[in-house]
């Protein structure tokens, strides 16, 4: 029987190889498969121990970031806003005003005979909804120039002389804050400088509903002239 295509002047239709072998791999698919096999082999060669170490490093980086370890470094105390007696400064943590500073070397009030007692009178009000401790304020937000930031000062109420260890939310209180410094650091007539830094409140909801003040950046400085404390 003759081929009908010759009578109609058409060449026989031939199926393309792609249509027959529809499952054949393209070059792109072959490259992707080879790359995947290499990656899987590399992971297997590293082993569980190496990946555990890498996971630990990532975890440490995350924790440091949450704790503010990558916060910008504090500014140099070169161009701080100057403040004097009676001026008021406020930030997110507190509002404070300093009125006077006194220097005493009376052995009855100084624990170490080699030290002098520098007392700054201030009015302070906390904006923290929680009780604000001395460690949250002094050596961080309020720093006496020349004092060890790790040595907490003593804080007493002006009205009754009682010791205070924390500040209550939005309760303004007049206090005397006293630091012990090496003798010769500050004398009557010298300038007493108290630097004020601005912190921010970091929330730690990942580890529970907790928060803490961090990122303290120096912004202003109170400058008072020290007088000799009354005997």
Residue-wise pLDDT tens digits, 33-87: 787 787 777 767 766 666 566 666 656 565 555 554 544 444 444 589 999 999 9
- Extract the tokens encoding 196: 């004020």
> Is the same domain home to 144 and 190?
yes
Answer whether residue 102 shows pLDDT above 70. yes
Which tops the pLDDT comparison, 164 or 149? Answer: 164
Distance CA 85, CA 96 (A): 11
Q: Is the pLDDT of residue 115 over 50?
A: yes
Residue 71, domain member (yes or no): no
Lowest mean pLDDT among 33-42, 100-109, 176-185: 33-42
Q: Are residues 197 and 97 in the same domain?
A: yes
Answer with the residue of higher pLDDT: 230 or 20.
Answer: 230
What is the residue range of 47's domain? 18-66
Which pTM value belongs to this model? 0.65
Quick check: is 34 in a domain?
yes
One domain for residues 42 and 121: no
- Which of 34-43, 108-117, 181-190, 217-226 has the highest mean predicted lDDT (pLDDT)? 217-226
Boundary of a domain, candidates 66, 97, 127: 66
Identify whether residues 153 and 47 lie together within a single domain.
Answer: no
Same domain (yes/no): 59, 140: no
Q: Is residue 76 part of a domain?
A: no
For residue 51, the model assigns a pLDDT of 58
* CA angle centred on 164, ends 114 and 224, rounded to 5°: 55
Least confident segment among 3-7, 146-150, 191-195: 3-7
Residue 193: pLDDT above 70?
A: yes
- Residue 23 confidence (pLDDT) above 50: no
Q: How many domains does the chain fold into?
A: 2
Residues 48 and 85 in one domain: no
∠ CA(219), CA(67), CA(212), 5° rounding? 65
The token duo for 126 is 């906390």
């Amino acid at each position: 029987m003759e081929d009908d295509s010759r009578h109609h002047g058409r060449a026989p239709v031939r199926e393309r190889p792609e249509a027959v072998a529809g499952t054949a791999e393209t070059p792109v698919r072959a490259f992707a498969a080879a790359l995947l096999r290499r990656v899987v082999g590399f992971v297997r060669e590293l082993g569980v121990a190496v990946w555990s170490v890498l996971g630990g490093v990532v975890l440490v980086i995350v924790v440091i970031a949450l704790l503010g370890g990558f916060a910008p470094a504090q500014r140099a105390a070169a161009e701080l806003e100057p403040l004097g007696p009676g001026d008021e400064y406020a930030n997110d943590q507190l509002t404070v005003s300093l009125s006077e500073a006194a220097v005493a070397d009376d052995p009855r009030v100084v624990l170490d005979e080699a030290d002098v007692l520098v007392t700054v009178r201030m009015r302070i009000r906390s904006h923290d909804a929680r009780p604000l401790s001395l460690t949250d304020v002094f050596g961080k937000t309020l720093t006496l120039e020349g004092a060890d930031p790790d040595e907490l000062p003593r804080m007493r109420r002006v009205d009754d002389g009682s010791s205070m260890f924390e500040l209550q939310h939005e309760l303004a209180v007049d206090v005397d804050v006293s630091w012990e410094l090496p003798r010769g650091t500050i004398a009557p007539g010298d300038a007493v400088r108290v630097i004020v830094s601005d912190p921010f409140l970091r929330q730690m909801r990942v580890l529970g509903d907790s928060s803490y003040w961090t990122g303290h950046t120096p912004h202003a400085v109170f400058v008072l002239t020290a007088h000799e404390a009354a005997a």
